[in-house]
Structure formats: C-alpha cells, structure tokens
Amino acid sequence: MADAEIEDMRKRMTHAAQMDAISRREGKPAMHKLKMLPEVVSLLNRNQYVNSLVDPEINLLEAVKFFLEPLDDGSLPAYNIQRDLMTSLAKLPINKEALVASGIGKVIVFYTRSKRPEAGIKRMAERLLAEWTRPILQRSDDYSKRVYQEAEFDPRYVTQSLKFG
C-alpha cells in the first residue's frame, strides 16, 4: 500500500514539475508544484513510510529533486518549496544509494555554492550536505573524538628564519 502511494506521488510530482516548466515557457505562472507542496510535505513527514521514502527503487527523492531544481529560465523555485522540502529532507535517513539514485545531492550542492538562495536556505543546504557527506567520508560528528594533527614548535627555528629570510 505505502509503495503504491509513494509511486503515485512520484509520478504526480514529476508531472507537476513538467507542467511548471511548460507554463514558464509560455509566460504563465508556474503553480503546479506550489499547489502540490502541502501534500508532498505531508507524505515526507510520515514516520511509518520512512524506509519507502528513501528507497532507491521507488526513487521519490528524484521527484523532490525536480521540485528543488532551478527552472529553465534560471529562476529558483518558490521560497516555500525550498524551505519546506529541505526541512523534510533533514528528517529523513538518506543513505548513499538513495543519494546516487536520485541525484538530489547535486541540487543541494548548487544551493550551497550559488549566491541566489536566501541565507536561511543556504544554511539548510549546508547542513544537509554536511550530514550526507560525513558517512561517505567516514567522519564523525562527535567533536570529542576528532583527531587533530599536532606540530612541534621550535622558537629557535622561527628566530633563525627571521634573521636569514
């Protein structure tokens, strides 16, 4: 039941993204994604569907990527879409396979590097990126376990280099 509902939502989200692209090309307002947003956020926030939501086979995250991608004319999606979807993404246990299958990481990297998103959105994207890359790079988020490189300090070397430098 859950997989069928999520698959249906993925198809509808993809269609809404395509309809918005067509509307923008025709000079009309792109409202399809905005109208679907409450329904999408409601589905993403359901705890009982968490494993199906991030399943690379169903690939709902790809449809979320379509919602977050800049439009053909280069404009960003509505602020509400950015904020609500990134908030929902932060709650999901997204693994490496889901990231690779959906390609959503590329859009999040775009939000971290671009100057166009608002500061709050950019911070959310940076947090998501840090959370997703930490397991891939095998880094801990526990700063007490962090390993620091130590260097020896020899004051004689500094004074010698100042005299001869």
Answer yes or no: is 159 within a domain.
no
For residue 126, give its domain range: 2-140
1 vs 103, residue with greater confidence? 103
Helices assigned H by DSSP within 26-78 = 32-44, 50-53, 60-68
Answer yes or no: is 131 within a domain.
yes
The model's pTM is 0.79
Answer yes or no: is 82 within a domain.
yes
pLDDT in tens, 128-147: 999 988 766 656 555 566 66
Answer yes or no: is 132 within a domain.
yes
What's the pLDDT band for 160 if we cut at 50, 70, 90? Answer: low
Answer yes or no: is 65 within a domain.
yes
Q: How many independent structural domains does the chain possess?
A: 1
Residue 6 · residue 52 · CB < 8 Å: yes
What CATH number is attached to the domain comprising 123? Answer: 1.20.930.10
